[in-house]
Chains A and B, each alone.
Chain A
């Protein structure tokens, strides 16, 4: 398929933007000015200001003399880029491949996109009328090459759609400035009397290169399609992406659900055919009033089941604010992975913790409470009780070592050991009684001590001597004394857990 490119030229990008924000300015003469070497130079101006004879690069003082009612606004460097980025995002509804074309244009790769709007003419008409409704005065053009589209948009007045293969003829009558050349070369061409591209298009490349440098030849060849030129898209296009253009703006939840289901079905069908599954996906919506937003999901296992992915989005659907209506949904599968072969799982009985259903369940739970709150524990190579269970979020990881069963461990453990008052009569013997939360527990049976040294390479501190103590009521506790026994009776006793 031959490539087709569209170039959109915003004729008065900054001044139009100002007029959109301040409605009273429409039809007035006003300029943007930026400081330069201690003077205020005009950087952007309206047609009304131009009628007075004001031009770009003029100082504000001079302009005020010839146009007494001129309004001057402070310009900000980089504002046009910001505006263009916003407009490019808005234009993503027409094509996924858009490049900014500073200072005042956009380049769109519309190959295979225009028929969605009913042909190139209807496409351009829609772009013009939609942007005009917003308040931007634009001139678009479509051609086979980026260079021709750019030149035609800026320099031609008619024939904005250059038919396939006609770009050479379209370029002929245009002035050299249609070739994206620097000012000094344009002046040189004018001085030589080359007012039209047709006057030098047939000159041998060697001659042109000697006279004007290789850049000019490159630009000419790019415009003619003899040299390849690529777009550097604003957003990296996602290989698995589906879009849903709504005929009428969508506002109700039911309609959004139907739309989402339709998108997912198309995406899953495509992924299924290629043996892939979604690991993470993002649903972006574009509202009528130019706002957009997105919700994203992630899965444990690559999945191409529509129902499952729908459920994951369903939990988050309420965050969509349709406002006046949504006109476009785009569903991108950001991360895909090959789906596991399901055949092999048929033979395993029951299915373990990593079965499909459990993975889907955990995806739903993670969608609601976050992945960080779902853990598995594998044995950590540590003696220190707090580090013995090592948390993992991976469901498939197998333990590398066995769990220790030689020492009893409490069923319940406190996050932070709680200080208790304990009385031990003999050094290194378990306490006789302890007081926790105001209640006195008389110990009738105990095991211990089990000394656990602190891992000094990780943190400093005292070792712990653990005792299992059973009180009169049969309640079993895990107590420890921090550090050695000393006669001054200022040992620190802690309660760390409860045995079953």
Chain B
């Protein structure tokens, strides 16, 4: 009797997740974006594709780190085909760098919107288009209503959207499925080696619908995400050259 009750409850939980806009991954589709332990934070342990993900950054360094992280995710999303649009108002992305994160820069279509107010219009149009695999939108503000519109657009078209909010002073509520904050942290090389190591970030999942927010240190190495579990060694007298 108790077993059936538990079953009913778990079934209801699953239903609730579905009603809230989360769709279980298609059987056979490879939705493992290589996030490793980070993926455990998502409902069902799978990165939610076909949803809007929000990244906030307060300085250009954070924006660069977020860009790297997003590009790493996009790499896996583009494997199954489809176009990638990078929509921005003031773009600073350097296309050749995308290659270092596994995305062919020539596959990305950069839309440099001359007016700030058109950014979200273009983004919504792109998110509605089914031939598009993923859309990255660099913008400044995103109101709740605007985020709802974007989220509704992707629920129909299954496009994965990344909204990278730059220079965020005030964080408001949005309808996005997740909210991330990526910050660069000290890279590490083998003890005693000079120079700069692989890109390493403090990945903070501030908000995730139906999941557990968390905090990880992630490194981009060998074209994949590596979660760093060992505490970072403090190496005071590190010298270069």
Binding site for B on A (CB under 8 A): 348-353, 355-358, 360-362, 364-365, 368-370, 373-379, 385, 388-389, 395, 398-399, 403-405, 408-415, 429-430, 444-447, 468-470, 472-477, 497-500
Chain B contacts with A in 199-241, Cβ cutoff 8 A:
199-201, 220, 238, 240-241
Chain B residue contacts of A355, Cβ below 8 A:
82-83, 131
Q: What is the CB-to-nearest-CB distance from B212 to chain A, in angstroms, rounded to a whole number?
A: 26
**Cβ proximity bits B14-28 to A, threshold 8 Å, 1 near / 0 not:** 000000000000000
Chain A residue contacts of B199, Cβ below 8 A:
476, 499-500
**Bound Cα distance from A376 to B106, whole angstroms:** 6
User: Main SS of the interface on chain B?
Assistant: mixed
**Cβ proximity bits B119-132 to A, threshold 8 Å, 1 near / 0 not:** 00110011001111
**Bound Cα distance from A57 to B201, whole angstroms:** 91
Interface size class of B (residues with CB under 8 A): 35 or more
Given the contacts A470-B186, A500-B69, A361 and B110 also touching, CB distance less than 8 Å: no
**Cβ proximity bits B35-47 to A, threshold 8 Å, 1 near / 0 not:** 0000000000000
Chain B residue contacts of A399, Cβ below 8 A:
106
The verdict on B34 contacting chain A, using a C-beta distance below 8 Å, is no
Given the contacts A429-B241, A476-B196, A500 and B92 also touching, CB distance less than 8 Å: no
The verdict on B61 contacting chain A, using a C-beta distance below 8 Å, is yes
30 A-B pairs whose Cβ atoms sit less than 8 Å apart in the complex: A350-B81, A352-B81, A352-B107, A355-B83, A357-B132, A358-B83, A365-B111, A365-B125, A374-B109, A376-B108, A377-B96, A377-B105, A389-B95, A404-B96, A405-B99, A412-B67, A412-B93, A429-B241, A446-B194, A446-B195, A447-B195, A447-B196, A470-B196, A474-B183, A474-B200, A499-B196, A499-B199, A500-B69, A500-B199, A500-B201
Q: What is the CB-to-nearest-CB distance from A396 to chain B, in angstroms, rounded to a whole number?
A: 11
Q: What is the CB-to-nearest-CB distance from B152 to chain A, in angstroms, rounded to a whole number?
A: 18
Q: What is the CB-to-nearest-CB distance from A137 to chain B, in angstroms, rounded to a whole number?
A: 52
Chain A residue contacts of B183, Cβ below 8 A:
474
Q: Considering residues A352, A353, A373, which has the most beta carbons from chain B within 10 angstroms of its beta carbon?
A: A353
Binding site for A on B (CB under 8 A): 60-61, 63-65, 67-69, 71, 80-84, 92-97, 99-101, 104-115, 118, 121-122, 125-126, 129-133, 183-187, 189, 194-197, 199-201, 220, 238, 240-241
**Bound Cα distance from A475 to B194, whole angstroms:** 16
**Bound Cα distance from A398 to B101, whole angstroms:** 20
Q: What is the CB-to-nearest-CB distance from A428 to chain B, in angstroms, rounded to a whole number?
A: 10
Chain B residue contacts of A349, Cβ below 8 A:
80-81
User: Which A-chain residue is minimally distant from B81 (CB atoms)?
Assistant: A350
Chain B residue contacts of A409, Cβ below 8 A:
94, 96-97, 100
- Contact in complex: B83, A369 (CB < 8 Å): no
Given the contacts A444-B238, A445-B194, A445-B196, A497 and B187 also touching, CB distance less than 8 Å: no
